[in-house]
Amino acid sequence: MEAASQTAQLPDRGLGSLDVRRILPFAGLLALIAVGAYFAVESPLFLRWSNISNIIVQGAVVAIAAYGLTLVLIVGGGNIVTGGIDVSVGAVTGLSASLIAVCVAAGWPLGLAVLAGLGCAAAIGAINAIGAVIGLSALIVTLATMNIAAGVDTLLTDEAAVRLDHPVIEWIASSEVAGVPVIAAILALVTLLFYLAVHKTRIGLRAHAVGGNRISAHLAGIPIKRYVACAYLACALTAGLAGLLLVARIHGSSPGAGSILLLDIALASFISAIFSRHLVPNIPGTLLGAMFGALLTNGFTLTNVPTYWVTTVKGAVVLLVVGVAALASRQKDR
């Protein structure tokens, strides 16, 4: 009978002989292109360079903030049961933006205002870092700092938008450098820096090690606490930098602008794992994820779909991504 031949077969891996993890990056890219194609068909305006560059600019703020979150995810271990997460990134971005806007509006030189914004972000990052190092749950600590940051943000802006008219900010917002918008150039630069640092240096490798297997990394002599602390600090600082770009993009600040970003930032960072073969959050995937979010928003706007559908779709995508990653990594364990 078949019993004899069946003992020679490989164990059933669930989805037949399909190795989900290998095709996942391609499936992800395919999905991105498919969505883009859909919008291109539905709206003739979509593929115009001005629109594409708009998408890139919209996605830039999210992407930069998300790089920090991705770093935290990497160091914490992509499987976030015991590891890292930072839900305060959105609020910190907004806080930094508000602080910069308020300072500039009060007459401070831009450099000083930016320093203030980054300093504030660093303070929040320090709290997160300390909490993580002494072993507190990252979720709870960053939930608390998120509320603190949002509260200070509200305090600063008094629930009113601040409109700025500063030459440098205008330059960032509207000019071009070598044919691309300044913001896009900044994005490219930051992306390159992060990519090299996280994926091509020894420090980056060690960061992956800390996330991959904390005990082994510890035994190998890597200073865990330093890496964890630096990850949270870096995350907050990048959020602060994203805040500067946010100020440029909306020419000032607007109450709650940061907190709304949390969804997009989380989406970008979580989805990045799908774009990699090893299901680890990564910088290029984060960029793709951020662009995907911006693409969705932009496409829906062009096809006259109400904005709240976008939120729903993004939420569904987050769930889908997390689910697929969970199932795929379970398959790996068999």
Considering the complex, state which of residue 144 and residue 180 has its C-beta at the smaller distance from other proteins.
144
> Cβ(28)–Cβ(275) under 8 Å?
yes
> Cβ(276)–Cβ(285) under 8 Å?
yes
Considering the complex, state which of residue 64 and residue 132 has its C-beta at the smaller distance from other proteins.
132
To other proteins, the closest distance from the beta carbon of 57 in angstroms equals: 23
To other proteins, the closest distance from the beta carbon of 8 in angstroms equals: 30
To other proteins, the closest distance from the beta carbon of 171 in angstroms equals: 33
To other proteins, the closest distance from the beta carbon of 219 in angstroms equals: 10
To other proteins, the closest distance from the beta carbon of 287 in angstroms equals: 21
> Cβ(120)–Cβ(112) under 8 Å?
no
Pairing of strands 176-177, 162-163: unpaired
* Tokens found for residue 231: 């990850």
Considering the complex, state which of residue 175 and residue 312 has its C-beta at the smaller distance from other proteins.
312
Considering the complex, state which of residue 174 and residue 213 has its C-beta at the smaller distance from other proteins.
213
Which residues lie below 8 Å from residue 68, measured CB to CB, with a gap of 6+?
A: 86, 89, 234, 235, 236, 237, 238, 239
* Alpha-carbon gap, residue 294 to 279, rounded angstroms: 23
To other proteins, the closest distance from the beta carbon of 260 in angstroms equals: 10
Considering the complex, state which of residue 28 and residue 264 has its C-beta at the smaller distance from other proteins.
264
Q: Which residues bind other proteins (CB under 8 A)?
A: 79-83, 85, 87, 127, 131-132, 134-141, 143-148, 150-152, 154-155, 214-215, 218, 228, 263, 266, 270, 306-316, 318-319, 322-323, 326-327, 330
To other proteins, the closest distance from the beta carbon of 233 in angstroms equals: 17
* Alpha-carbon gap, residue 142 to 283, rounded angstroms: 22
Considering the complex, state which of residue 30 and residue 316 has its C-beta at the smaller distance from other proteins.
316
Considering the complex, state which of residue 31 and residue 110 has its C-beta at the smaller distance from other proteins.
31
Distances (CA, A) of 226 to 5, 190, 197, 230, 332: 54, 23, 16, 6, 31
> Cβ(84)–Cβ(77) under 8 Å?
yes
Sign, CA dihedral 229-233-236-238, equals negative
